[in-house]
A and B are shown apart, each in its own frame.
Chain A
Amino acid sequence: MMQAVAIPPFERFYEEHRTEVLRLLRKRLGAERAEDAFQETFLRALRAYGRLHHAEHLRAWVLTIAHNVALDTLRRTRPTDELVEAQSTDHRPAYAELADLTDGLAPKERAAVVLRYGYDLSYEQIASALGSSPDAARQATSTGVRRIRRRIAS
């Protein structure tokens, strides 16, 4: 019972730290991605809050959670940024970097994305490699990229 009293009601904790958490996340991730990360940070805190044994170092605790969420976000989203960049600047991510990202796509989509962005093949070349038309290759590539984006966003 003493412990329950020592830990502040979550509302008070949230109000006290939300501004600083958002500031940290914006600095690490930019304004847009910071919003999802903000929500994720306090949801993680809320999940663990009932199991806290004392109220010491709550500020350090929540900033650590925010830091971890930022790392997770960067880890998850950096490859797509490169993917988007690849479209415009012809920058080539290595095949290995695309392997994880395309894991779980249908085989044809996966091959199309890897050949397009991993090896910078044209849609004609991809089409002949996959035994399909250039339009179908373009379609498979863009479907694959959309799926990856959706998965990262969810």
Chain B
Amino acid sequence: MTVSPDLDRRFRDAAVHLDLVDVGFDVVDSPIGPLLVAASGQGVAAISFRTDPDAQLDRLARIAGPRVLRSGKAIAPARRELDEYFHGERRGFDLPLDLRGLAPFTVSVLRELARVPYGETTTYGALAAQVGHPRAARAVGTVMNRNRIPIVLPCHRVVGSTGALTGYAGGLDVKQALLELEGAR
């Protein structure tokens, strides 16, 4: 005796509808492969290229609380904006973000990162200078490396001072693909 998909979905929808979930997540398809997208009441909390939910549940619980539940309804606004972005119909995201638990330096770097325009690139050093720590390019690199909301927070637009792509959580080919989508390369 198993729980039917319909019953399962009704419970998940009701849980989100009643606002009983700390963080909801689902796996969405995209041209750069499946993405695990998570959102709390505060906003988008995580986007991951690693989509095996079991590996992500504990991480999401640490970010937002133990009431983690898979639900398409919980991430519907994020899915819609991501779809528009990947179809070339959206150049900036209007989604609120959940940056709870991040260090103040990290938050200030990510806020600055969010201002890097669609289709343009910047460097780790330039970002570091913009947050008032011109010698902290390495630290900025670490923030990019750990960016838990890639794509929406466009760390793919940050490259080395020589213009080299340097690195990306989703792989360099994905970074390249995103920049091409935006017409940056």
Contact = CB atoms under 8 A, between A and B. Distances in A.
A149 interface: no
B101 to A, nearest CB: 11
A12 B65 CA distance: 14
Contact of A26 (B1, B20, B22, B62): B1
Given A39-B11, A42-B11, A46-B20, A10 B69 contact: yes
B3 A22 contact: yes
- Interface core residue of B1, B62, B66 (most chain A CB under 10 Å): B66
B177 interface: no
Contacts of A35: 7, 10
A39 B11 CA distance: 5
A8 B66 contact: yes
Contacts of A75: none
Contacts, number: 69
Nearest to A12: B57
Instruction: Name the interface size band of chain B.
Output: 20 to 34
Instruction: Name the interface size band of chain A.
Output: 20 to 34
A132 interface: no
Contact of A4 (B21, B54, B62, B69): B62
B162 interface: no
A11 B68 contact: yes
Given A4-B65, A5-B58, 6 more contacts: A4-B62, A11-B68, A12-B54, A43-B14, A46-B20, A46-B67
Interface of A: 4-5, 7-12, 14, 18-19, 22-23, 26, 35, 38-39, 42-43, 46-47, 49-50, 52
Interface of B: 1-3, 7-8, 10-11, 14-15, 18, 20-22, 53-54, 57-58, 60-62, 65-70
